[in-house]
Copies of this chain bind each other. A is one copy, B any other.
Amino acid sequence: MQAPLFDPDKPRDRLLAAAARLFRRQGYAATTVREIGAEVGILSGSLFHHVRSKEEMLFAVMERVIAAMLADLRAELSRAEGGEARLRALIAVELTYLHGPAADATAVLFHEWRALSADRQAVLLDGRGAYFALWDQVLAEAGGAMDPAVLRQFLHGALAWTSFWYRPGGALDLDGLTAQALALVQGAALPLR
């Protein structure tokens, strides 16, 4: 994890952080620009001094997460040696984003994708593609019997879903959760038949 996604000193960033928080809690469509304004202490009209439209906020939030996740995953993978370490890096980066300081923005990226217009989805597709290409590479290296693409979808789904039930600070910390996910994919979930 490098620099935080949003700089509290920049008004526009404070706005985006607030938008991410509300988009996550209520969903994009159910969140009004008046609520976002209130969250940072300005009126809804003043909000458009920093941003061209409501959707631009959604786009900006997603754009930043994608770029940051991709950079972080690349850094972690270049540092990791051995198949298990690389696999752990995959999971750790995803879970760190989902439950660390960037939790709101990451949850929005994963769960509000369809709220974004098709044009803007297309702009972000390159970044998403590069990110998952790294996944496929690591999973293929691991050389399991399962189709890497299917395994990637299963794993990504299982991790993305944690944002609905897992809360850090409980009995299970982030490292523990990472270990559990690693165990799942390494085949330690249930005893072999």
Interface residues of A (CB under 8 A from B): 26-27, 29-30, 84, 87, 111, 114-115, 142-147, 150-151, 153-162, 164-166, 172, 177, 180-181, 183-193
Contacts and interface: CB of A to CB of B under 8 A. Distances in A.
A115 B111 CA distance: 13
A117 B81 CA distance: 48
A189 B29 contact: no
A172 B151 CA distance: 13
B143 A180 contact: no
Nearest to A161: B157
A142 B187 contact: no
Given A27-B29, A146-B190, 15 more contacts: A29-B30, A146-B180, A146-B183, A146-B184, A150-B172, A154-B161, A154-B181, A154-B189, A157-B157, A157-B160, A157-B164, A158-B158, A186-B189, A187-B188, A187-B189
